[in-house]
Copies of this chain bind each other. A is one copy, B any other.
Amino acid sequence: MLNPKDFDVPANYQHWEGDKAEDRIGPFFFARQNGRIETAFRAEDRHCNAHNAVHGGVLMTFADYTLCLGANGGEQQFVATVSCNNEFLAPANKGDLLLGEAEVLKRGRSLVFVRCVIRAGDVAILTASAVIKLLR
């Protein structure tokens, strides 16, 4: 179990176990706050692109993490992303603590609709929305 403090993320966030690609791209962390899933990761040099901004793929992966945890509520329920739309609002930089907040708009029997905004401080960095399938 990865420790958020080792990645300069506040200690109230926890790690979702079992996804090696996610850990390699991030790692990312989550917390349940007021019935919502919130997520966090600290941008380091290895997350950055040729412009020294956080890479779009890292941001989309973090958004997908946020949306999937929003859909499964942080439980060990497996999910699969059906579609994921992203808009890039502003660049994030090395050292930024990136925070995501998942908002579930509709929870169906097999499909969950979620959207999120990723922020660095007061600045909105990325907005995303997804259709997520609940797997048995």
Number of copies: 4
Asked if A58 meets B88 with Cβ closer than 8 Å, knowing A78-B50, A115-B127, the reply is: no
Which residues of B are found within 8 Å of A62, using beta-carbon distances? 57
Residues of chain A in range 31-80 having any CB-CB distance to chain B below 8 Å: 45-51, 54-58, 60-62, 64-65, 78, 80
Q: Chain B's nearest CB lies how many Å from the CB of A57?
A: 3
Interface size on A, residues (CB 8 A): 46
Q: Inside 8 A of A84's CB, which chain B residues have their CB?
A: 56, 60, 85-86, 88
Give CA–CA (A115, B89) in the complex, Å: 12
Given contacts A61-B61, A81-B86, A85-B86, list 15 more A-B pairs with CB under 8 A: A18-B50, A21-B47, A50-B78, A51-B78, A56-B80, A58-B61, A80-B88, A82-B88, A84-B86, A84-B88, A85-B129, A87-B105, A87-B113, A115-B129, A129-B129
Residues of A within 8 A of B (CB): 18-22, 24-25, 45-51, 54-58, 60-62, 64-65, 78, 80-90, 105-106, 111, 113, 115, 117, 124, 127, 129, 131
